[in-house]
Amino acid sequence: MDLKETKHLSPSERAAHEKQFFDTEWKKHAMVDFNVNPKMFALYTKPADLSDWRQRTALLMGDLAGRRILDYGCGIGEEATYFALLGAEVWAIDASETAITLAANRARHNGMGERVHCSLSKSTHLEFADNYFDLVHGLGVLHHVTLDALPEVYRVLKPGGRAVFLEHMGSSRHIVPALQRILGSTSKEVASEDEQPLDYRDVHAAGKIFTKCKVYPYHLLYRLHSLLPTSLHVLLRKFDCLLLRLCPLLKRYSGGAVIFLIK
C-alpha cells in the first residue's frame, strides 16, 4: 500500500492494518527468551541518567509498588513484567493477539502471571472504568494509534494520575529514509506503513486536556549510534542531551521524545 493512501483510512481500517502488521511482526519473536534482561531491568530499578529515555520514564513514573498501571500497547510484554516485578498491578493491552500471547507467557515465566493481566483492546475505547489507573505507560504506541487516543487515556486515569509515552517524532518522516540509506542493514527500526510520527505542536495541542503536558526530546545524533563502537554509545547519548538542552530548536530534528502527562 502506498503511504499516501493511508492518510485517508478510517480509524477502523487503520487499526486493522496495524493489527495485521504486528501480528506478523511479533510472530518473529515466538522463540524469544522470556528471562528478565538484567541490564534493561536496571534502567527501571536504578534510574539516574536522564540522557536515557527509559530511565527518565522510570523517574517520571516514580515508585510503582501498589500502583495500578495500564501498559498501553504492551507489545511482547517486557515492560509489563518489569513493572509487576517492581510491585505494580499491571493491565497489559494490545491490538495484536500474537503480542498478548507472548506478553502473558513472559509474565508467567517470571512468576508474575497473577499481577499482569493481558487482554486485547481497541485504542479508541478502553474497557476500563473512569479514574481507574494510577499510571499509564506506552512505548511507541501513540504514533500508531494517533493522538486521538489521549482522551481515553485521560478518562481512565485517576485525578493526579500520570501518563508517560516514549514516542517516534515527526521530523523522522524526512530523515529516516536518508538514515536507512546511510545505515543500510544495520538499521533495526520497525515501521508499519500506516504509522505517522508525531508533531510537537500536535502533542501539546492534544495534551491541553491534561493539567500538565511536558515533552522531552531524544535521539538526535544518537540515531547514528550503530555506526560507532558500543563503547561510545553512552557518550553520544549524553552529547545529544547536551545539544538539546543548549539549543531547544534542535528538537524538531529529534527522532523520539518522552511525553509526560498529568491528569
Check pLDDT > 70 for residue 58: yes
pLDDT band at 124 (very low <50, low <70, confident <90, very high): confident
Residue 246: pLDDT band with limits 50, 70, 90: very high
In order of 27, 30, 170, the CA distances from 23 in angstroms are 6, 11, 25
- Cβ contacts of residue 38 below 8 Å, gap of 6+? none
How many of the other CB atoms lie within 10 Å of CB of 215?
Answer: 19
| The pLDDT of residue 171 | 61
**What would the mean pLDDT of 26-47 be, rounded to a whole number?**
86
Angle at 10 between CA 8 and CA 13, to 5 degrees: 110
State the pLDDT at residue 172: 54
Average pLDDT over residues 67-93: 97
Average the pLDDT over 30-37 and give the result: 84
How far is Cα 174 from Cα 119, in angstroms, rounded to an integer? 35
- pLDDT of residue 102 exceeding 90, the answer is yes
**Domains in the chain, number:** 1
CA distance linking residue 132 with residue 159, whole number of Å: 9
Which residue segment(s) compose the domain that 189 sits in? 3-262
Least reliable range by pLDDT among 91-95, 186-190, 202-206: 186-190
Q: Write down the pLDDT at residue 5.
A: 43
Average pLDDT over residues 252-259: 91
**How would residue 144 be classed by pLDDT, with cut points 50, 70 and 90?**
confident
Residue 179 to residue 176: CA distance in whole angstroms: 5
Residue 1: predicted pLDDT: 35
Q: Calculate the CA dihedral of residues 26, 32, 38, 40 and round it to 10 degrees.
A: -20
CATH number of the domain residue 10 falls in? 3.40.50.150
Determine the average pLDDT of the residues in 208-227.
Answer: 92
Q: Is the pLDDT of residue 160 over 70?
A: yes
Confidence of residue 2 (pLDDT cuts 50, 70, 90): very low
